[in-house]
Structure 1
């Protein structure tokens, strides 16, 4: 490649680089307004997913019924049926092991979303105590994938899975 060709290539790359930097600057500048719009559009689904993840991860061996009811209040379909069918087992095991779990959502991201469905990934930590921990709280780390559907203007969890 000759000197002239190299200078054209270098000049072309410089123009592309400047264009890219300008575009990045525009994206960064306008990203706040785009995020605000996305946040407004996703606010309901994010709130529903956060509430369901917290309800799902909360355990108190002294009073499981309202905790299970809270999960079911945000659930629908097969997930609600499966969770309801485990009510007695969940309560019995929590009491047997004297379990408590106090969760916090540390990150949440709304993935695919349309008018009637959404996928949300949740990272949560929970301080767990039970007979196996000797009464000492141990932090557990959970990653959840929630599939939500819109029913009667409410976002409900149709599927919840642990992910790695």
Structure 2
């Protein structure tokens, strides 16, 4: 091997090092991006699971009415609410109170089915099918109401709270 061949061989090595470095950087970057995406998907899946459970419990609370324990009913609804929905419910419950007491209203809801409508890591929209048995002074025989409810759940300070409720 001549001295010129040795110089040519050394010149080729920096290109090889650069090429291998580029491949290594691309591999690490791709792994990082994929890991970040998987982490994001896990966060949304966890949010869906937690918000679904919270929304089902909240739907039962929301559809439960007992004229004898209205203060407890209203307090439970407000405890699971946030934002404009909480404000609206707080204002409307004071108007509704007397009608429920006068009519000796009673209702119990049961979640029949639920599904996720949309989700991010901190906001989940849950659609629920709720059967509600309703009685009152003028109708002592239970009447079954079949409700579709969409509850938007938001994670606030580690709790899933209802920020919007739509009865369809």
Q: TM-score, normalised by structure 1?
A: 0.72
Q: Aligned match of 2:132 in 120, 126, 134?
A: 126
Partner of residue 154, structure 1: 159
Where in structure 1 are there 5+ consecutive unaligned residues?
Answer: 1-37
User: In structure 1, what is the Cα distance between the partners aligned to 2:47 and 2:106?
Assistant: 35
> Quick check: 2:85–2:165 contact (8 Å CA) kept in 1?
yes
Partner of residue 107, structure 1: 113
Aligned residues: 126
1:105 Cα shift? Answer: 0.4
Give RMSD over aligned pairs. Answer: 1.7
User: In structure 1, what is the Cα distance between the partners aligned to 2:109 and 2:147?
Assistant: 9
1:48 Cα shift? Answer: 1.1
User: In structure 2, what is the Cα distance between the partners aligned to 1:144 and 1:76?
Assistant: 17
User: In structure 2, what is the Cα distance between the partners aligned to 1:97 and 1:153?
Assistant: 38
1:91 Cα shift? Answer: 1.7
User: In structure 2, what is the Cα distance between the partners aligned to 1:43 and 1:102?
Assistant: 24
Q: Aligned match of 1:145 in 143, 146, 150?
A: 150
User: In structure 2, what is the Cα distance between the partners aligned to 1:117 and 1:40?
Assistant: 11
Where in structure 2 are there 5+ consecutive unaligned residues?
Answer: 1-43
Q: Aligned match of 2:122 in 116, 120, 136?
A: 116
